[in-house]
Chains A and B, each alone.
Chain A
């Protein structure tokens, strides 16, 4: 089978290398040759996406894989590990990244200055995302987190106005604070276990000194929640995501917050072993679930009250993040399907939210503003953009056959099976509120124009990339049989690399 060629025995390790080093090298070249930045950036973005998707196919065909950087075994060196969870998120990043790059090529066509800085920083951001999804080393993850945070902050500031700068500075302060909390946890883990490799730390967890380990886990998770903008840490998100240029908002909302969520999930599953070991794990899961439910309600209500389209979409992100954390109490109580649901929601939200921000950018470019009440007649002039927004809305609301529907369905099923009717009600209520804010936008777009305004044309690249992303969010719901091996996280069927003999051996020796 040719797909096996992409697996562990074939090109697989080279694809891991390409996923990180290709965008990184391209970023340097774009920085050195500003005039060619857009062309080179777009080409290398498409190549990176192709390599990452090939990597996902390799994982599907041949199972997870592992690379030891520098050739050193785990306690001394750093490992890359590609399993179903990371391959799924990297593939979503690839799809969103390719479409955002197409969009950005058109969006920044007439702004030479922003273009020359957007491309190198965006490519570094992509490299940081892939590096984060691949790393199996807690300290290395800290470095990738910081890299990701600085790239996101720099892109936020690219707009240059006072609002963008204020949003970027607040984002930077929060991001650094979150990373420091995470690093403090890593320091305690290292001094408790003498290693920062995820597999080795997991082996050490049962015997680790107690208050130290608990404080370490609390610090790491708190820092990551701050970066994921889980309620009540969400205050920084809407100004940053709402004031950045449209392709940047799409990247921040669709990808960057997912990275820190992924890391929480990774810690929970791979280091803490699912958190059902002792009572405090269950307690923490319940807390995360309550915060998630509060985020769903609060974010949706605030989204409904916004007068500006981009802020509405940003608050919708706050709400959708909530769903991801509502999976924790459900999964700990025995429904591993809840993890699959959360991951499905994360993927669907990534695709749909990117499509929403990109269409908002087109509407903004078209009318010169994003006041929802004045979006009249947009549907006649930008039918593709409006279609993209509506289709993305279908996935955000969780209507069939979208990816968002599958994710919510799995969560609902778990909630009903366990008799958690309050959580089920919140999931349903969030869907209703989402429908309300999506229809608020679409409804205004359908009203006839009252007066003529000066309107700018929107390049087709901007309209089509948003539409393709929205379609991908819908199609995701139909591909469950194809990609489900990637999403069986936290179960025995999960795609995981064979833990290398060396790591297993040292893990045995370390305990």
Chain B
């Protein structure tokens, strides 16, 4: 197994673990953390596989396009986390709850 494939598999494992935590935990902070782990996994897949041996005639450096895309994805994830935390803090101030309250889940 080559190194890029290894990182791809680790990324997929993180995605699945994050999904498990997202479903199992009721506390909203943990759900947000779980989503962050999932997104880290997706980014790892994206960027890890970019180091596979390129075809002929390409420079040996890693493909820059996935790197730029992952940078974009990271900023989006930060924005999502910030917004989610603001909403959760507000919900707790209003009701004292840190869960969604009813088990509809998703």
- Chain A residues in contact with chain B, CB under 8 A? 139, 142-143, 146, 150, 153-154, 157, 161-162, 165-166, 168-170, 172-174, 176-177, 180, 183-184, 187-188, 190-191, 226, 233, 235-236, 239
Contacts and interface: CB of A to CB of B under 8 A. Distances in A.
- Most chain A beta carbons < 10 A, residue from B28, B31, B72, B80: B80
Given A169-B84, A184-B15, A139 B69 contact: yes
Given A165-B87, A165-B94, A166-B100, A172 B80 contact: yes
B42 A187 contact: yes
Interface in B1-60: 15, 22, 28, 31-32, 35, 38-39, 42, 45-46, 49-50, 52
Given A162-B94, A166-B91, A172-B87, A235 B105 contact: yes
Contact of A177 (B22, B76, B88, B101): B22
B49 A162 contact: no
A180 B83 contact: no
Contact of B84 (A139, A146, A172, A190): A172
A209 to B, nearest CB: 12
Given A169-B91, A174-B106, A191-B52, A180 B39 contact: yes
Given A146-B80, A153-B83, A190 B66 contact: yes
Nearest to A168: B87
> Does more than half of chain A's interface fall in helix, strand or loop, or is it mixed?
helix
Contacts of A146: 76, 80
Nearest to A170: B100
Given A165-B90, A177-B35, A180-B39, 19 more contacts: A142-B73, A157-B90, A165-B94, A169-B100, A173-B106, A177-B22, A177-B106, A180-B35, A180-B42, A183-B46, A184-B42, A187-B49, A188-B45, A190-B65, A191-B46, A191-B66, A233-B106, A235-B106, A236-B106
Contacts of A188: 45
Contact of A150 (B22, B69, B83, B97): B83
A276 B17 CA distance: 35
A238 B61 CA distance: 49
B22 A162 contact: no
Contacts of A150: 79-80, 83
What 3 A-B pairs have minimum CB-CB distances, sorted nearest first? A187-B46, A165-B91, A191-B49
A166 B96 CA distance: 12
Dominant SS at the B interface? helix
15 contacts: A162-B95, A166-B100, A166-B101, A169-B91, A170-B104, A172-B87, A173-B22, A173-B32, A176-B84, A183-B42, A183-B73, A184-B42, A187-B45, A190-B46, A233-B106
Contacts of B94: 161-162, 165
Contacts of B91: 162, 165-166, 169
Contacts of A226: 106
Contact of B31 (A173, A183, A233): A173
A162 B99 CA distance: 12
A222 B45 CA distance: 18
What range describes how many residues of B lie at the interface?
A: 35 or more
Nearest to B80: A176
Nearest to B90: A165
Contacts of A161: 94
A239 B72 CA distance: 31
Contacts of B66: 187, 190-191
A113 B31 CA distance: 30
B74 to A, nearest CB: 12
Contacts of B15: 180, 184
Contacts of A142: 73
A162 B87 CA distance: 10
A143 B80 contact: no
A166 B104 CA distance: 12
A191 B72 CA distance: 17
A75 B87 CA distance: 39
**Best-buried of A139, A154, A176, A188 by chain B (most CB within 10 Å):** A176
A459 B74 CA distance: 45
Q: Choose among A168, A187, A235, A239 the residue with the greatest number of B CB atoms under 10 Å from its CB.
A: A187
Contacts of A153: 83, 87
Contacts of B79: 150
Contacts of A191: 46, 49-50, 52, 66
Which of B15, B83, B87, B88 gathers most chain A CB within 10 Å? B87
B95 A143 contact: no
Contacts of A190: 46, 65-66, 69
B33 to A, nearest CB: 12
B73 to A, nearest CB: 6
Given A235-B106, A236-B106, A143 B83 contact: no
Contacts of B22: 173, 177
Nearest to A167: B100
Nearest to B49: A191
Contacts of A174: 106
A146 B101 CA distance: 25
B77 to A, nearest CB: 8
B80 A169 contact: no
A182 to B, nearest CB: 10
A247 B44 CA distance: 40
